[in-house]
Structure 1
Amino acid sequence: MKLIKLDAIDSTNDFLKSLSTQDELENFIVVTAENQTKGKGQRGSKWESEKGKNLIMSTLVKDFLFDNEQVFNLSVIVSLSVIEVLKSLNIPELSIKWPNDIMSYNKKIGGILIENTIKSDGRIVSVVGLGLNVNQTNFGELPQASSLCVILNKTVDKEIFPALITDKIKEKIALWERSSYVFWQDYFNSLFRKGVPMPFKNLEDRNFMGIIQGVSSVGKIQILLEDDSVSEFDIKEIKMLY
């Protein structure tokens, strides 16, 4: 695994996307940073991280996705890879808050942002960004955030994660063709608050109750509504309240 370690950068995803214009760039190359000034999360939100305390990494994945309808497959693989690595470190009560936030109990400890670029020949090149709260203990006005250090009550070596997570992603990609059904089932079973009545907010800023049933093949969340119908929503159409 080729690793590029940076002290500070605006965004590891943006840095790796600019590098990925070079066709000869090695698959699964990883970029890490001690500090990120313009970290991005889902819905265009900022990803805040205390300098030097957390894992900030981006990985290049190519030659896996070949169709826009398949892009959520990579989210499944990456989310499960992070979960498995954290389980090996005895992080308790892990789950995936749709689409790909990493939770321990009801606290967010990590977030994944995958950005895809379609090349002129139709190939899809993906940059997988991961922010994982490792040794940060103060989250200011973010009461729903936590870290591995807080959960385990000890400092964790953040340098172990790039290789562990990237190797797990490579392993699952290699197994995807014959194990995709199993991976999808593992993803469903790992969903945060699946099968539990809970509140949501829609585009009209209205709250409603629903029960998460699963996720469609293109990554839309499936929610059982109070009228017993099941509706699908994408990331921009709904917000989970918890």
Structure 2
Amino acid sequence: MFKQIIGSHVIRLPETASTNLHALRELNSHRPAEGSVYITDNQTQGRGLETNSWESEPGKNLTFSFILYPSFLPVDKQFRLNQCIALGISDFVKQMITDRITVKWPNDIYYRDKKICGTLIQNSVIGSSFDYSVIGIGMNVNQAEFLSEAPNPVSMMNVLGIEQSLENLSLQLFQSLDRRYWQLMNGEFEKLSADYLNNLYRMGEIGKYMIHGIEEEARITGVSNYGHLLLKNVNGKSWSCDLKEVKYL
């Protein structure tokens, strides 16, 4: 039995602008224990990828960040951390919702075509080694209505129709993330990659994308070792895209 890392120290904040920013401030002043979680019922300025914001009704959802020190992981394999985190969340959500849960590249969790969980990973690198990673997670749990302009949010309440205990769910989610982190630490990269592709949203399906500013119909064929999304159209033209080069339509 492995010692639990993620969730071994849980710090509860009544309110904060952003749990990621709070964790980063902690790192600026000292070195918190690995796996330290900062969780709040009211995150007022939650962030997503790039400039995206995250809507969360106070007391209704899981909003937290945690700190890892993955110094064992070569920097050129940092996408393995994304896979590990996405799978840890996906494993957990599938315990609650058994139908149509997928990972939308790089690490959002989808129910059908709607987003139930978002993740923001902020890495610090010194030379060729990781210094730390701050992982922020926002999961829609008991919120029934969404008022922001986010295009496709959904919650467990919307899907299951029942309210969940945030306390119980958080403990289960920490354990699920921890299991996948141990796989990463043990070097089980091939399993993580295979599981990630098996859970990938739109994998192998023809879909519409904006690629380098041009609308294309293409099929996702995989993800590179560096985390680039691999696509190919029916004429055999292929692309390897980072976040700024492709948009799902």
- Read off the aligned partner of 1:16 and give its amino acid letter: A
Identity fraction in percent: 28
CA distance in 2: counterparts of 1:214 and 1:62, whole angstroms: 28
Deviations 1:33-83 (A, max 9, x none): 112222111122111111111110101111355432111111101111111
Partner of 2:245: 237
3-state DSSP of counterpart to 2:159: helix
Q: Where does the alignment leave 5 or more consecutive residues of structure 2 unmatched? A: 1-7
Is the contact between residue 136 and residue 147 of structure 1 (CA under 8 Å) also seen in structure 2? yes
CA distance in 2: counterparts of 1:50 and 1:65, whole angstroms: 37
3-state DSSP of counterpart to 1:213: strand
Deviations 1:212-233 (A, max 9, x none): 0111111110001243032100
Deviation at 1:161, TM superposition (A): 3.2
Q: 1:171 aligns with which of 167, 171, 179?
A: 179
User: What TM-score, normalized by structure 1, do the two folds share?
Assistant: 0.92
Is the contact between residue 43 and residue 236 of structure 1 (CA under 8 Å) also seen in structure 2? no
Partner of 2:131: 124
Cα gap change, 1:51/1:180 in structure 2, threshold over 3 Å: closer, same or farther?
Answer: same
Cα gap change, 1:125/1:46 in structure 2, threshold over 3 Å: closer, same or farther?
Answer: same
Q: 1:136 aligns with which of 115, 130, 143?
A: 143
Deviation at 1:168, TM superposition (A): 2.4
CA distance in 2: counterparts of 1:84 and 1:78, whole angstroms: 10
Number of positions where the alignment pairs a residue of Structure 1 with one of Structure 2: 240
Deviation at 1:235, TM superposition (A): 0.7
Q: 2:218 aligns with which of 186, 210, 221?
A: 210
Cα gap change, 1:144/1:2 in structure 2, threshold over 3 Å: closer, same or farther?
Answer: same
CA distance in 2: counterparts of 1:9 and 1:19, whole angstroms: 13
- Read off the aligned partner of 2:164 and give its amino acid letter: V
Partner of 2:233: 225
3-state DSSP of counterpart to 2:78: helix
Deviation at 1:102, TM superposition (A): 0.4
Cα gap change, 1:200/1:124 in structure 2, threshold over 3 Å: closer, same or farther?
Answer: same
Is the contact between residue 54 and residue 131 of structure 1 (CA under 8 Å) also seen in structure 2? yes
Q: Which residues in structure 2 correspond to 1:187-206 (within 5 Å)?
A: 187-204=196-213, 206=214
Moved over 6 A (4+): none
Q: CA RMSD for the aligned pairs?
A: 1.9
Q: Where does the alignment leave 5 or more consecutive residues of structure 1 unmatched? A: none
Q: Which residues in structure 2 correspond to 1:53-202 (within 5 Å)?
A: 53-64=60-71, 66-119=73-126, 122-140=129-147, 141-176=149-184, 177-202=186-211
3-state DSSP of counterpart to 2:83: helix
- Are 1:10 and 2:35 counterparts? no
3-state DSSP of counterpart to 2:243: coil
Is the contact between residue 65 and residue 124 of structure 1 (CA under 8 Å) also seen in structure 2? no
CA distance in 1: counterparts of 2:19 and 2:187, whole angstroms: 32
- Are 1:41 and 2:48 counterparts? yes
